[in-house]
Chain A
């Protein structure tokens, strides 16, 4: 594959344009390319270079994705071998369903309507909880980053509550909140809140003093400085917080759904275990993984226009 790329790279060197030493040596140019001026020839050569560079980059990229896909396939092959041969070396594969069984069961779930209902419930909870966490988290974060008072009042709560895992909140959430739905949303919200707050504070506190002074010299009010200087400056850190928060939101949601609730992908996974539907456990797990990855990707993509100014162009 590398050999081929090198051969392709080498092609333009033998292009007639590159052999013509300068624009005045018309005879040389004519000998190689009768209708072209040197300038046109240069353009052609440049375009060819650009095309080859682009093709090379694409090949490099597809090669990497190929490796990633192969890595996943390897795991499935291992899973297949381990389950068909009932491997039992400390880790016991005897009760683990085979990949083909899971695939079959998955087709069955896709054909029914129940499975979609579970996904819809989970997505709804994520949307509400995550939305609340983003709005409150960014607001609190900006407040804390801008005011020592706000930071001193809020930070102790954040530090104390942050290490408490979502599962530990479940009993209290059930006792305090009126519905199961609201307790699951609350737990999810709490999980997503902390990364948003902390990353926002971090971003706001990193604001460059020179930029604030420059803005003040240009007649900006405190409010304008907030919108034009502080928040955009904190944005890279905020976006990181938003992406991390999405991941945390999913596993907090799952904790909530496993223990209470009547729908949701977490509930689906746990009831499959109690109902001895082992393939469904794996379907649930993979669905969670997939939804979590896709939603995090969505957050990054949605935020990338806000980071276009970075040297990386906001690409993710």
Chain B
């Protein structure tokens, strides 16, 4: 799992079009506003409340993690921002526009198996630009740039099946970024990777993000991951999912693996741990009652 090589980074910086566009991203776009949002599933009889009274404001260029025990509705909230599910009540806007459907302004990275298996790595990344109306040549050139960015230029012609899980996720990130989205949504993207690969990927992601500075909403149940990556951690309670804490993470950037053992890191980690523990206990009690 080689990190982004110096050469490929240079290639990115030399690419004037990317540079121009990525700076434009920072120009105040990617503001997410969630006000009084409830998300419910099912019909009258068997109705489940996945998200309850969510209020959240995420500003342009912020890296926010949604943290919570499994089944707390954090992915549902992410899917609502993506436009896959619509809120039952309340309002959800991105840059002032109500979200009703998915769009290329909000790129998404899924947990796994989300690359098109029949497209080469390069064609996967070129898909977004192609859908946005770019010519085949333009789309391929953008794809190559982004593959260099994630250090996979050499695998442009490979099919996803021939890549390791970590490499596939890097292609997924490149594909989501190739549309220059103002918001990058990530649904436990490293959840299926082994611990070592996961740390590499986290460092890699931060490095890439430094170039783009777009808004990132990152769903995870891994506390270390949340503290390591984000500017803010939004902690959600077990079902129904409510936002119970909004913790500011002011650890200096750039962040590296050594941070994981620093005292400041531990303080934040303990804070999250206690909140999560409380929620997990609650969830257990609820399940026991229900059972």
**Is A32 part of the binding interface, using a Cβ–Cβ cutoff of 8 Å?**
no
A residues sitting closer than 8 Å to B (CB atoms) are: 208, 210-211, 213-221, 224, 228-229, 232-233, 235, 308-311
Q: Which residues of A contact B116 (CB under 8 A)?
A: 211, 214-215, 228-229, 232
**Is B68 part of the binding interface, using a Cβ–Cβ cutoff of 8 Å?**
no
Question: Which of A217, A232, A311 meets B104, CB within 8 Å?
Answer: A217
Interface of A is mostly: helix
Quick one: closest B residue to A225, CB to CB?
B131
Q: Could you say which of B49-57, B58-66, B105-113 contacts chain A?
A: B105-113
* Complex Cα–Cα for A208 and B131 (A): 20
* Complex Cα–Cα for A229 and B117 (A): 9
Q: How far is the CB of A310 from chain B (nearest CB, A)?
A: 7
Q: Which residues of A contact B115 (CB under 8 A)?
A: 214
Chain B CB within 10 A, most for which of A213, A310, A311: A213
Besides the known contacts A214-B116, A215-B131, 19 further A-B residue pairs in the complex with CB atoms under 8 A apart? A210-B110, A213-B84, A214-B110, A216-B101, A217-B82, A217-B103, A217-B106, A217-B108, A218-B107, A218-B176, A218-B179, A219-B103, A219-B179, A228-B127, A308-B159, A309-B118, A309-B161, A310-B117, A310-B161
Quick one: closest A residue to B110, CB to CB?
A210
Q: Which residues of B contact A213 (CB under 8 A)?
A: 82, 84, 102, 108, 110
* Complex Cα–Cα for A308 and B159 (A): 9
Q: How far is the CB of B47 from chain A (nearest CB, A)?
A: 22
| 23 pairs, A vs B, C-beta closer than 8 Å | A210-B110, A210-B114, A213-B84, A213-B110, A215-B127, A217-B102, A217-B103, A217-B106, A217-B108, A217-B176, A218-B104, A218-B175, A219-B104, A219-B131, A219-B179, A221-B131, A224-B131, A229-B116, A232-B116, A232-B118, A232-B119, A309-B117, A309-B159
Question: Which of A210, A218, A235 meets B127, CB within 8 Å?
Answer: A218
Quick one: closest A residue to B132, CB to CB?
A219
**Is B73 part of the binding interface, using a Cβ–Cβ cutoff of 8 Å?**
no
Q: Which residues of A contact B103 (CB under 8 A)?
A: 217, 219
Question: Which of B84, B106, B161 meets A311, CB within 8 Å?
Answer: B161
Q: Which residues of A contact B106 (CB under 8 A)?
A: 217
Chain B 150-167, CB within 8 Å of chain A: the 1/0 string? 000000000101100000
Q: Which residues of B contact A309 (CB under 8 A)?
A: 117-119, 159, 161
Chain B 118-160, CB within 8 Å of chain A: the 1/0 string? 1100000001100110000000000000000000000000010
B residues sitting closer than 8 Å to A (CB atoms) are: 82, 84, 101-104, 106-108, 110, 113-119, 127-128, 131-132, 159, 161-162, 175-176, 179
* Complex Cα–Cα for A54 and B132 (A): 46
Q: How far is the CB of A137 from chain B (nearest CB, A)?
A: 21
Q: Which residues of A contact B101 (CB under 8 A)?
A: 216
Task: Check if A218 sits within 8 Å of B131, measured CB to CB.
Answer: yes
* Complex Cα–Cα for A310 and B119 (A): 10
* Complex Cα–Cα for A235 and B117 (A): 12
Task: Check if B113 sits within 8 Å of A210, measured CB to CB.
Answer: yes
Task: Check if B128 sits within 8 Å of A219, measured CB to CB.
Answer: yes
Q: Which residues of A contact B82 (CB under 8 A)?
A: 213, 217
Question: Which of A211, A232, A233 meets B114, CB within 8 Å?
Answer: A211
Q: Which residues of A contact B119 (CB under 8 A)?
A: 228, 232, 309
* Complex Cα–Cα for A104 and B261 (A): 88
* Complex Cα–Cα for A159 and B112 (A): 37
* Complex Cα–Cα for A9 and B114 (A): 42
Q: How far is the CB of A204 from chain B (nearest CB, A)?
A: 14
